[in-house]
């Protein structure tokens, strides 16, 4: 991601309908992986596998979706688990955001 300062996105953990619920309860969260021009396909596939525990085939599918569409939901789960996955993806400078999943 270059040699500059990496800014992590701010994430709001509260919604109007879940104000009194702990962050891991209620609607699930998702980790969204964003495209960049700084990592090889192989690097991304390996890091997605490491972070999510998915197969090489699934990690390749996610990586290709990121490459062609600009982003991909690579993991869905509770907030703490999504934060763990996002942290592993960020270890090599990948850009990720967390978001609530609506409508599930």
Structural domain spans, the chain: 36-95
pLDDT of residue 94: 97
User: What is the Cα gyration radius of the chain?
Assistant: 14
In angstroms, the Cα distances linking 97 to 31, 84, 89 are 6, 12, 10
Split at pLDDT 50, 70, 90, the class of 59 is: very high
Q: Is the pLDDT of residue 11 over 60?
A: no
Residue with tokens 């997605």: 48
Please write the tens of the pLDDT for every residue from 23-42: 545 569 999 999 998 999 99
* Rounded-to-integer distance, Cα 90 and Cα 39, Å: 12
Please write the tens of the pLDDT for every residue from 60-90: 999 999 999 999 999 999 999 999 999 999 9
Helix, strand or coil, per DSSP, at residue 4:
coil
Look at the pTM and tell me if it is higher than 0.95. Answer: no
Spatial strand order in the sheet of 95-100: 71-77, 29-34, 95-100
């Amino acid at each position: 991601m270059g040699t500059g300062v990496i800014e992590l996105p701010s994430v709001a953990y509260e919604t109007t309908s879940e104000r009194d619920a702990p962050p891991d309860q209620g609607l699930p969260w998702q980790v969204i992986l964003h495209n960049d021009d700084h990592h090889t396909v192989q690097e991304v596939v390996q890091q997605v596998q490491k972070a999510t525990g998915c197969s090489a085939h699934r990690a390749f599918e996610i990586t290709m979706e990121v490459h062609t569409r600009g982003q991909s939901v690579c993991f869905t789960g509770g907030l703490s688990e999504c934060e763990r996955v996002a942290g592993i993806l960020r270890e090599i400078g990948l850009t990720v955001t967390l978001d609530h999943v609506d409508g599930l």
